[in-house]
Amino acid sequence: MDFTFKTDYGFVFIIIPLILAGVISYFYYKKTRLENFQKKLFTFLRFLSLFFLFLLLLSPVVSFIKKITEDPVNVFLIDNSESLLLENRDAKIKEIIAEKIKVSVNAENLFFLYSENLYREIELKDLQNIPFTGINNFKTNLTQSIYSLPGRLSGKNLSSVTIVSDGIINEGGNPVTAVKTLNVPFNYILTGDTIQKNDLVLKNIFYNKTAFIESNVPVKLEINSFNYDRDIKIDLYEEDKLLDTRYVKVEKGKNSYEASFNVQSNTEKIVKYKIGIEGAEDEITLKNNYSEIFIKFVSNKFKVLAIAGGPGADFAFIKEELLKINNFETSFLTQKSGSEFYEGAAGDLGSYDAFIFIGYPTQVTNPLILNEVREQLDKRNASLIMFTSRDMDMQKLSLFENKLPMKIGGISDREEETGIKTFASLKNEIFKNGELISSINSFPNIFKTSTSFLINSSAETLLLMGRNSEPAFVIQNTDKNRSAAFLPYGVYKWRLSPAKNNAREVLNYLLTTSVVAITDKKENKNFVIETTKSVYSKFEDVEFQARITNFEIQGGEKILVKISGNGISKELELTKKENKYYEGKINIESDGNYEYKAELISKDNVAESVQNRFAIGENNFEYRLTRADNSVLNSLKNATGGRNFSGLNSDGINEALLNFDEKARSEFRSKRNFELNVNPYFLAAVILLMCLEWFVRKRNSLP
């Protein structure tokens, strides 16, 4: 250990207190009647006391410097994900550990198991008892495991990281960026055969988790076939009952194939489907031949309220066509007076998905009703479709300007005739049946007023008026504005034309496509909730994710999930993460099918409830890839200057690690400063010297 001595005034100034202390001490005891030894002792004690006191005036600092050598640390990351059960790779890893990994006496060696993240640290003596079953090891996320490593090392001098794995990574992406943050060599030992074995894999299923009843719902499959040249059989089961079968011709040299099924339901329910590929005897595993999904079938009926400014020919034609649309549950209100309708009271306006104004509002319309409709449009983000008339009150309609695809400019009731025409090229997502809608070009003229409209920049004009090519049909579909407007009127003339046409079919198509295009039934839900997947293992947590979508926050909202099935009943309150998002996890210990009912609770009342299903069974995600792959591990090695230890014996591996250790071994100096003028130990020493001198003087009867 070394030390240094410094002052604020330089070392030369130490001579002055040294001389002063010596002179004062000498003359102080020069004439005393003491024996020679005693005189020297008293003079020395006084000298030390005075010198140390004078020294304090110079603000002295003593620095002690200690040399410290920090030993390197070698980390071994050992893959214990479920894919290691293929081809007895788990036994191969234990063999590699026993034969190739020798503990270096010149470094600290740490062993960690990993799969979806760092699982736990394991002692050397336990490396032959690595668990591969009965744990949550159904994903391999090397990136997250590496990012978690520094937190486990507590500032240790990391020398190298050696990964023992089959190289199959199915979560977290390529970890090259992660390894560069550690700035150490990454080595690897590959276990498993890099030659693809015979296998049939149901790799992915593409489907909608929610579908409408009475409609064909496609279920598309992505299939991998390795080393087969034959027809493979794919079965679709509904609630464990065989529903349909497909055959796909596969051949060697081509690995990827597609197939599809169509499913449907005539009632609202949640259905479990299982898709399975008939296995072959020589497959590396059969665990990747099947998958299970749940589809929730909901009503496809749109609840629509059509409000007319009064009886009329346009209203009669539109009403007739609305009643023909099977998936519309349409109610009608025909204005009788300012606050009365021929059909009776307006009732609850909060249950409708879409509102259709037909020549509404008029001059006699009660503004209170308009405000109530506007409130529901805001609250539910429902859609609004407007058909104009000559009697429509444009001033009152301006209340809905933020819910319409246009603004009202100059108002005029001067009537003109106009034809309706399509664009030269119909390329839009609304009118996909271009041939049908194009027939509108030959329909009789109808009417328009001279009122001018300013179309919103985010709206799309789909039909034009023959006169001056003004917009005739405009639609807007944004987060806050789901609306459409048919700006001319007199559509009744289309069906009165003596020339045969398909006016009824066109109007029906116009109504149907408009409502469906701008009405999102999901958005009208107060909240949505899903599990992160359909099937979980009993060794992992079931994860719920929820979001409040169309509900006015009151404060203190919570989402409660009630789970039932197989004699099990559990409850889980989700945790609010941010804004309107909620998450939660729960473990279910038994295999089987389960239902859950989620409730959005606000002010101690259930605002809405949602039901769905999930299953506890075998999680086969780790078997989607079966070939050992060193491509990612090799990229880590190249990016960090590491080594491939796969072909080396224990001596070769140990020699390489020793080289890394020597480069990582670091020596640094630890410095500790003591400021004597504030150091309690130094001040105590000065006081002790002065007390000692006083004590000795008294013992020798000196004043």
Q: Give the start-end residues of each E strand in 503-580.
A: 527-531, 535-536, 541-548, 558-565, 568-573, 575-578
Q: Is the pLDDT of residue 221 over 90?
A: yes
The length of the chain in residues reads 703
How confident is the model over 44-57, as a mean pLDDT?
Answer: 71
Residue 33 binned pLDDT confidence (cut-offs 50, 70, 90): low
Cis previous bond, 60, omega within 30 = no
d(CA 349, CA 633): 61
- Asked whether 90 and 130 are in contact (CB, 8 A), the reply is yes
pTM of the model: 0.68
Residue 374 vs residues 50, 335, 338, 405, 641: alpha-carbon distances, Å: 93, 17, 17, 15, 66
The burial of 33, by beta-carbon neighbours within 10 Å (0-12 exposed, 13-18 middle, 19 or more buried), is given as exposed
How confident is the model over 316-334, as a mean pLDDT?
Answer: 92
Q: What is the pLDDT of residue 633?
A: 96
How confident is the model over 9-33, as a mean pLDDT?
Answer: 70
d(CA 387, CA 385): 7
Q: Is the pLDDT of residue 702 over 70?
A: no
Phi and psi for 594 in degrees, rounded to 5? Answer: -130, 145
Within 13 A of 70's CA, how many CA atoms are on the CB side? 15
Q: How many CB atoms sit inside 10 A of residue 217's CB?
A: 18
d(CA 54, CA 14): 9
How confident is the model over 6-19, as a mean pLDDT?
Answer: 67
Within 13 A of 459's CA, how many CA atoms are on the CB side? 25
Q: Two tokens at 432?
A: 């996909």
Q: What is the pLDDT of residue 544?
A: 97
Q: What is the pLDDT of residue 57?
A: 64
Amino acid, single-letter form, for residue 79: D
Q: Is the pLDDT of residue 529 over 60?
A: yes
Q: Is the pLDDT of residue 341 over 90?
A: yes
Within 13 A of 334's CA, how many CA atoms are on the CB side? 11
**Owner of token pair 């699982």:** 119
633-637: list long-range contacts, CB under 8 Å, 24+ apart: 633/163, 633/165, 633/167, 633/188, 633/190, 634/188, 635/174, 635/176, 636/163, 636/175, 636/176, 636/179, 636/186, 636/188, 637/185, 637/186, 637/187, 637/188
Q: How high does pLDDT run on average in the chain?
A: 87
Q: Is the pLDDT of residue 260 over 80?
A: yes
Q: Is the pLDDT of residue 667 over 60?
A: no
How confident is the model over 607-636, as a mean pLDDT?
Answer: 95
Q: What is the pLDDT of residue 259?
A: 95
pLDDT tens track for 396-434: 999 998 999 999 988 888 999 999 998 755 555 677 777
Q: What is the pLDDT of residue 227?
A: 96
Q: Give the start-end residues of each E strand in 347-450.
A: 354-358, 383-387, 406-408, 415-418, 420-422, 446-449
Pairing, β 290-298 against β 210-212: parallel
Residue 6 binned pLDDT confidence (cut-offs 50, 70, 90): low
> C-alpha angle 379/384/387, rounded to 5°?
155
Which residues have CB under 8 Å from 112's CB, separation 6+? 75, 76, 77, 78, 118, 119, 120, 121, 122, 145, 149, 152
Q: Is the pLDDT of residue 46 over 90?
A: no
Q: What is the pLDDT of residue 62?
A: 64
pLDDT tens track for 128-187: 999 999 999 999 999 999 999 999 998 788 999 999 999 999 999 899 999 999 999 999
Q: What is the pLDDT of residue 16?
A: 73
Q: Is the pLDDT of residue 291 over 80?
A: yes
Q: What is the pLDDT of residue 550?
A: 75
* Residue % of the chain over a pLDDT of 90: 59
d(CA 655, CA 653): 5
Q: Is the pLDDT of residue 611 over 60?
A: yes
Element (H, E) at 586: strand 581-587
Q: Which residues of 165-187 are buried (b: 16+ CB within 10 A; e: fewer)?
A: bbbbbbbbeebeebbeebebbbb
Q: What is the pLDDT of residue 478?
A: 86
Q: What is the pLDDT of residue 388?
A: 95
Q: Is the pLDDT of residue 470 over 60?
A: yes
Residue 502 vs residues 320, 443, 497, 561: alpha-carbon distances, Å: 15, 9, 11, 51
Element (H, E) at 211: strand 210-212
Element (H, E) at 249: strand 241-250
Amino acid, single-letter form, for residue 694: W
- Asked whether 64 and 3 are in contact (CB, 8 A), the reply is yes
- Asked whether 190 and 245 are in contact (CB, 8 A), the reply is no
- Asked whether 343 and 368 are in contact (CB, 8 A), the reply is no
Q: What is the pLDDT of residue 671?
A: 55
Instruction: Identify which has the larger pLDDT, 525 or 376.
Output: 376
How confident is the model over 468-482, as a mean pLDDT?
Answer: 89
Kindly write down the DSSP assignment for every residue of 158-195, as one continuous string: EEEEEEEE-----SS--THHHHHTTTS-EEEEE-S-SS
Q: Is the pLDDT of residue 390 over 80?
A: yes
The DSSP output letter for 589 is -
How confident is the model over 559-573, as a mean pLDDT?
Answer: 96
The burial of 549, by beta-carbon neighbours within 10 Å (0-12 exposed, 13-18 middle, 19 or more buried), is given as middle
How confident is the model over 60-68, as a mean pLDDT?
Answer: 62
Amino acid, single-letter form, for residue 644: N
Cα-trace Rg, the chain: 42
